[in-house]
Structure 1
Amino acid sequence: MNPISAHNHQDYKLKDTKPQLGERWPHGGIRGGGGWINSERATSTYDLVEQMFYLYVRVEKARDLPTNPVTGNIDPYVEVKVGNYKGKTKHFEKKTYPEWKQVFAFSKDKIQSSAVEVFVRDREMVARDEYIGRVIFDMNEVPTRVPPDSPLAPQWYRLEDRRGDSKVKGEVMLAVWMGTQADEAFPEAWHSDAASVRGEGVFNIRSKVYVSPKLWYLRVNVIEAQDVAPNDRSQPPQAFVKAQVGNQILKTKLCPTRTTNPLWNEDLIFVAAEPFEEQLVLTVENKMSSAKDETVGRINLPLTIFERRLDHRPVHSKWFNLEKFGFGVLEGDKRHELKFSSRIHLRVCLEGAYHVLDESTMYISDQRPTARQLWKQPIGILEVGILSSQGLLPMKTNDDRGTTDAYCVAKYGLKWVRTRTIIDSFNPKWNEQYTWEVYDPCTVITLGVFDNCHLGGNEKPGSGSGSKVDSRIGKVRIRLSTLETDRIYTNSYPLLVLKPTGVKKMGELQLAVRFTCLSLASMIYLYGHPLLPKMHYLHPFTVNQLDSLRYQAMNIVAVRLSRAEPPLRKEVVEYMLDVDSHMWSMRRSKANFFRIVSLFSGVISISKWLGDVCYWKNPITTILVHVLFLILICYPELILPTLFLYMFLIGIWNYRFRSRHPPNMDTKLSWAEGVHPDELDEEFDTFPTSRQQDVVRMRYDRLRSVAGRIQTVVGDMATQGERFQALLSWRDPRATSLFVIFCLIAAIVLYVTPFKIIALVAGLFWLRHPRFRSKLPSVPSNFFRRLPSRADSML
């Protein structure tokens, strides 16, 4: 077992923090998920993060640089030095007027020098790089720039010799200023915190914004075909159609009759992403045997030719000629190409009125249809300040010591954001703020922390990072509907990961979150509006179709984002989209079972309380219930008002105990505290399994045992429902006769007896004293249990 102590359980809870958030720093437009968000809508763009000051040095270009007297050429580059930190530009070969246009950023907290030195050097392949000149700036004289001020204009500076006594030939254009992370130069700047990163790793540490590809459902209605002729003309073909879009392959059912004009009228649904790179490949095949299919026709259709449907209006069908190429008889030395003349009847369209699910429906972050023409106005703004992480564990080893290069990814709607990577730190500070437009408050934003394993050879071979997979550190989900509007939540979220050894805390993620409402009326309207677009209800997909389409959509999003620069890698996207949330797990099954049990806890508590009332466990309470019951009988019009008033008072009372912070990962709810090690090993097993035969046999027997109990419960529920049906279905003629006679007598009695009397007698009988009760089951219960069910007909 994996017990968790009370101290650990307390450590897994959400914590309140009090960061020193910055002032309001307006910064013009911010790119949102659905477009540009102006500063009026995003009221305070950088007030959810702590201010971090940086010394910026912009190296623009140089002119009139002296050449080497020996070679007659110069390969110039610039080195910026602040204390122990050095940043270098790329070098140009044989160029006296180079242009670098590069920005360097040095963290003010780590600056231990009073001067900024900018050196211009000539790169030498063999000897030491030759010194050309330098420019020195006093830190006390560096100006401070605060957005939205315009960028500081660069100036030409004469180069000085080593001692600074005289000027030398050549000038360099520079701009030096002090700013914050709100500066527009911050994302693309070279950072002193990552000075050890070289090569391609430099591109993998920068913060970036990604946009998910625009996904469409491709509906292919295969109606019929004509003149399908197999190679063997002795018997008609038994045809079916195979359709392929990229890696997605679907097949129609076999035509029930052997004919050259088969009919299917079957829908095949695919997921396609803009820009459409794949084609729809249709193949008509003849089923010759269980192991052999014969291709009798084929056609390739680009997706751009199909209509984009934005509502439920029908799409016109078209006939397409199928082509099959073979070789005819020889005439001289030439072979004649034969063209197959069969046709296929299709109705194909790109569905834009659906929302293409690319994530688990439990944690959906976007519910809009694909077509932008159907989008409504946003009802709110979500602002998230990704502050820092605390107490991260070492994820890999460099030079025989543990290290972590952490970055954070946030996903909401179509917009993904990735913070910069903080090199070699267990307490990284990002202080980056991002903004999303909100179209539905009943959505979830997901944030994950990862260890960057793509730093350009920075890892030691054999250290565990050679697989080049960014390790997951933890994940946080926040449902927007649980947030109060216009309130800043500053919390530290535990980063929990389930490993084969049990649940483990990998650190904490500090966030500042604010949800701003733009239209309260629109938000209230959404609560009565369908969750998904209209087409999901007019023409719904089957459960199997939804599972397959969701899996294909996840794969497409992962592939497209992995092609960005820097790539948002597949393992990151899959973890953020909860790809494995539908896989079988004994732990999840137990967790869901106890979730169901907890739902009935209130009903069970009420039933126990009523039982205590009926058995006079507390005579005073029982007498008060009798009094209330008699009042309601005398004044039946008060029953419903009393019920609603009681619920109102419960709601007001529970307001005191409302949650003060968003819900977080709960190890107890997830059943991760007492999970058996073998169950964890089963959850992390590959699919198909890679375990030994005896282990698989044991797990299979356990699964059969659990499934048997589930089967028994489902069977009991079905039995009770069938007994209700048997009341009037005459499966048991005597029981039905008794029930019909009882209904007739009850109708007559209820007709001639006032309802108050009936309710009074029934209530007093139900509240009768225990000495008037029998321990045997009641007559209605005995009668109901004797009714037949269809279980007798089960094999």
Structure 2
Amino acid sequence: MHKFPVNEEFALKPTAPKIAGSGVIVGGDKVICAYDLVEQMEYLYVRVVKAKELPAKDVTGSCDPYVEVKLGNYKGVTKHFEKKSNPEWNLVFAFSQDQLQASSVEVVVKDKDVVLDDFIGGISFGLVDIPRRVPPDSPLAPQWYKLEDKKGEKLKKGEIMLALWKGTQADEAFSDAWHSDAAAVGSDGISRIRGKIYISPRLWYLRVNIIQCQDLIISDKSRPPEVCVKVVLGNQALKTKISPVKSANPAWNEDLVFVVAEPFEEPLVITVEDRVSSNKDEILGKCLMLLNSVPRRLDNKPVGAKWHNLEKHFVEGEKKEIKFASKIHMRISLDGGYHVLDESTYYSSDHRPTSKLLWKSSIGILELGVISATGLSTMKTKDGRGTSDAYCVAKYGPKWIRTRTIIDSTSPRWNEQYTWEVFDPCTVITIGVFDNGHLQGGGKDGCIGKVRIRLSTLETERVYTHSYPLVVLKPSGVKKMGEVQLAVRFSCTSYLNMLHKYTHPLLPKMHYVHPLSVTQLDILRHQAIQIVSIRLGRAEPPLKKEVIEYMLDVGSHIWSVRKAKANFMRIMNVMGGVLAIGKWFDQICHWKNPLTTILIHILFVILVLYPELIFPTLFLYLFFIGIWRYRWKPRHPPHMDIRLSHADAVGPDELDEEFDTFPTSKGSALVRMRYDRLRSIGGRIQTVIGDLAMQGERFQSLLSWRDPRASALFVAFCLFAAIVLYVTPFQIVALLAGLYVLRHPKLRSKVPSYGTNFFKRLPAKSDCML
């Protein structure tokens, strides 16, 4: 098999961070510590709770207090309160002990003034005397401390409530703390740089089956009406075709499918329209429904259809009539038996149906340690020099995580660890690195790069620590934007349940019983991404739209000469194995190696005389090949492959086409129309070529041990098949196989067979492509 040469710049590099990823042995049992996939970072935490009876400093007899926490060159500042002597802040400051150059920490209360802030009082603590807290110990109780003047004498009035302790990033206060490296960020922007966890809204497919209308009132009875039904849900709008029954009782029996998210906030608006002219539609009636009243369907049983009254549409100034007898016959359901796709099915992070009633128990735990990044490209300019404010986002299933933003650093250290439940091993986690654009005028967040890791390629209970190259394709060509260091562990709770998953359909049953068309899936996926973007954009801090679209590969289906070439080369790489067999057989025929040729002749004669040995020999041969190749199974997770993506051999004209707008802005209207049509057709061809390449790569992965569990299952099946076919007469095997292939349709299931399910779960190289 042909292998692309490795460019060391874009290669995956093993690392050796100081982590406790292997666990700790306690009493003979393995105990996994909290935050054992990242390096431990020591912090000094200072919680400023409140103050009371602060002395007045202004001529008005009041004060505008705020607190400064100073530790060497680092200083944290709370917001100030106007004219308040008993303020409450309840804010935690975190100082990294790796950068401490002082022996004490000072807490100073000041009065905000126009010219010079007045000193109210302060207190100092020696770092040696500050206690250490290790979770799951309870949080340290804050205490009241008397404020001191500049000479160190206690004030008559004025106290502050504080809590000081030493801890690590495993402390509960870590995520909401104001870190010392973010001291330059104001109190208004501190929430935009904190790490958070987001949950995508639960998405449903809403199916509206328009059957017919009854007793429509047509204004112009001299012509046959051309009636259609328009259904609007938020920013989604779909129309039926014009009814072939051109009367007051039109019929359609047409399905319209929408994506909706819980909680259901928007009503469903059904409008019956008559096409009066080419650019004018007359509204014949309207119907409004709340989605909370719509029945939820979990299986393939149809929901009962109902008649709904249509309300007459009145023009302003028209006299309203109470009587209106028009009706519409519809079947509406929320289909929870589907998995609402937002990611590509080639590297989806979740395959479960929408309804939780159909969920199975989890098979394991995925743990991700986001350790650090090195050599990040500068994304902005600050004080005349390039810099980046980097943070990471990881998406698996409905759970998104966002690390805290490291200010002004091209080598940030996060050392944050996150956990997900795993329900299917044939899924992919995506990790992206971004530049926070909020800190400079609220601009867009810059995309630095991303990594995809397929869980089925990981060995269970093993900690993978690697540095992944962050690669992006720009109009100037492929570029490495830095490296991100990750630690990944996939722990399995039930190995048998996980192996059993390989025989299940990849998607829920409804996708096979009532399949959606490719066009429908494209439209619904676009709507699902828009809904997720809007919902997560309303969180605090918001997960921006450009981040979500980059993580979910929006626009990846657009035509690209580079992708077409890459998929063609994938096919040629797969076909290389077939060509190699052909060359080997040609060498046998031409007696290039006489000993091998004689052995092949002997084997051929034996198989002709004893045909029952053909299949046992074949499967036994595959068994030995699988065992032989076990030594060369991959030892690291997959990563972006530049040569596989054909990103390093693309020309400037092809890059200009790939980064061109859609529709194109190159030339006249006629050229634009033809160009867009070519790109649209090419996109379909590109998908077909990619699908063909994926099937061949799945065949290759049977014995490549890229997915160790799938290869183990296949090797075991080969051994079992070899034994069974040996002891079973060949005629009986052929008869049973023929009868099974020709079985009656009533004996066939609409769900794919075990072999098909197993094959579709095999890993292709699509998740390694840029």
Q: If the length of structure 2 is used for normalisation, what is the TM-score?
A: 0.85
2:274 is aligned, of 280, 286, 289, to 286
2:483 equivalent to 1:508: yes
2:328 match: 344
Q: Secondary structure of 1:230's match?
A: coil
d(CA) in 1 for partners of 2:685, 2:214: 49
1:542 is aligned, of 517, 520, 532, to 517
1:55 is aligned, of 36, 41, 44, to 44
d(CA) in 1 for partners of 2:449, 2:420: 22
What do the CA deviations read for 1:323-345 (whole angstroms, capped 9, x no partner)?
12336999xxxx44566431101
Q: 1:415 to 1:701 in 2, by over 3 A?
A: closer
Q: 1:546 to 1:166 in 2, by over 3 A?
A: closer
Shift of 1:615: 2.7
1:272-421 maps to which residues of 2 (within 5 A)?
272-326=260-314, 335-337=319-321, 340-421=324-405
d(CA) in 1 for partners of 2:392, 2:435: 9
d(CA) in 1 for partners of 2:301, 2:501: 25
1:11 is aligned, of 6, 9, 12, to 9
d(CA) in 2 for partners of 1:217, 1:65: 59
Amino acid at match of 1:389: A
- 1:327 touches 1:338 (CA, 8 Å); kept in 2? no
1:156 match: 144
d(CA) in 2 for partners of 1:77, 1:708: 59
Please provide the CA RMSD for this pair. Answer: 2.8
2:203 equivalent to 1:228: no
Shift of 1:437: 0.1
- 1:324 touches 1:339 (CA, 8 Å); kept in 2? no
- 1:143 touches 1:178 (CA, 8 Å); kept in 2? yes
Name the larger-Rg structure: 1
What do the CA deviations read for 1:52-82 (whole angstroms, capped 9, x no partner)?
1111001111122222373211222211111
Q: 1:14 to 1:652 in 2, by over 3 A?
A: same
d(CA) in 2 for partners of 1:704, 1:388: 40
Q: 1:412 to 1:51 in 2, by over 3 A?
A: same
Amino acid at match of 2:223: Q
Shift of 1:696: 5.5
d(CA) in 2 for partners of 1:199, 1:274: 33
1:260 match: 248
Q: 1:250 to 1:494 in 2, by over 3 A?
A: same
Shift of 1:283: 1.0
2:601 is aligned, of 626, 640, 658, to 626
- 1:219 touches 1:268 (CA, 8 Å); kept in 2? yes
Aligned length: 684
1:442 is aligned, of 420, 423, 426, to 426
2:123 equivalent to 1:139: no
Judge which range, 217-226 or 302-311, deviates more.
302-311
Unmatched 5+ stretches in structure 2? 693-729, 732-770
d(CA) in 2 for partners of 1:9, 1:661: 16
d(CA) in 2 for partners of 1:524, 1:502: 42
Q: Secondary structure of 1:579's match?
A: coil
- 1:283 touches 1:297 (CA, 8 Å); kept in 2? yes
2:577 equivalent to 1:602: yes
d(CA) in 2 for partners of 1:143, 1:706: 68
Shift of 1:577: 0.5
d(CA) in 1 for partners of 2:669, 2:278: 34
What do the CA deviations read for 1:671-720 (whole angstroms, capped 9, x no partner)?
11111111111111111112235996899499599979989x99xx9xxx
Q: 1:261 to 1:693 in 2, by over 3 A?
A: closer
What do the CA deviations read for 1:727-750 (whole angstroms, capped 9, x no partner)?
xxxxxxxxxxxxxxxxxxxxxxxx
Shift of 1:275: 1.0
Judge which range, 353-362 or 205-214, deviates more.
353-362
2:87 equivalent to 1:87: no
Q: 1:435 to 1:15 in 2, by over 3 A?
A: same
What do the CA deviations read for 1:620-640 (whole angstroms, capped 9, x no partner)?
322221122122223333222
Judge which range, 615-624 or 585-594, deviates more.
615-624
Shift of 1:42: 9.4
Shift of 1:303: 1.1
Q: 1:45 to 1:328 in 2, by over 3 A?
A: closer
1:67 match: 56
Q: Secondary structure of 1:654's match?
A: helix
2:78 equivalent to 1:103: no
Q: 1:353 to 1:70 in 2, by over 3 A?
A: same
Q: If the length of structure 1 is used for normalisation, what is the TM-score?
A: 0.82
Amino acid at match of 1:250: L
d(CA) in 2 for partners of 1:89, 1:431: 26
- 1:229 touches 1:237 (CA, 8 Å); kept in 2? no
Amino acid at match of 2:376: L
Shift of 1:93: 2.3
1:469 match: 444
Q: Secondary structure of 2:123's match?
A: strand
d(CA) in 2 for partners of 1:703, 1:343: 45
What do the CA deviations read for 1:223-243 (whole angstroms, capped 9, x no partner)?
100111222122331211111
d(CA) in 2 for partners of 1:710, 1:108: 57
Q: Secondary structure of 2:204's match?
A: strand
2:633 is aligned, of 655, 658, 670, to 658
What do the CA deviations read for 1:512-558 (whole angstroms, capped 9, x no partner)?
00000001111111110111111111111111111111111111111
1:430 match: 414
Amino acid at match of 1:445: I
Q: Secondary structure of 2:530's match?
A: helix
d(CA) in 1 for partners of 2:634, 2:537: 38
Q: 1:355 to 1:328 in 2, by over 3 A?
A: closer
Q: Secondary structure of 1:511's match?
A: strand
What do the CA deviations read for 1:327-378 (whole angstroms, capped 9, x no partner)?
6999xxxx44566431101110111111100111111001111111111110
Q: Secondary structure of 2:314's match?
A: strand
What do the CA deviations read for 1:377-396 (whole angstroms, capped 9, x no partner)?
10000000000001101111
d(CA) in 1 for partners of 2:20, 2:619: 47
Q: 1:350 to 1:276 in 2, by over 3 A?
A: same
Amino acid at match of 1:494: P
1:679 is aligned, of 646, 651, 654, to 654
d(CA) in 1 for partners of 2:396, 2:650: 32
2:580 equivalent to 1:592: no
d(CA) in 1 for partners of 2:110, 2:71: 17
d(CA) in 1 for partners of 2:670, 2:107: 66
- 1:328 touches 1:336 (CA, 8 Å); kept in 2? no
d(CA) in 1 for partners of 2:679, 2:517: 27
Amino acid at match of 1:144: R
Shift of 1:254: 1.1
Q: Secondary structure of 2:645's match?
A: coil
Q: 1:704 to 1:184 in 2, by over 3 A?
A: closer
Judge which range, 212-221 or 14-23, deviates more.
14-23
d(CA) in 2 for partners of 1:501, 1:218: 43
Q: Secondary structure of 1:529's match?
A: coil
d(CA) in 2 for partners of 1:194, 1:704: 46
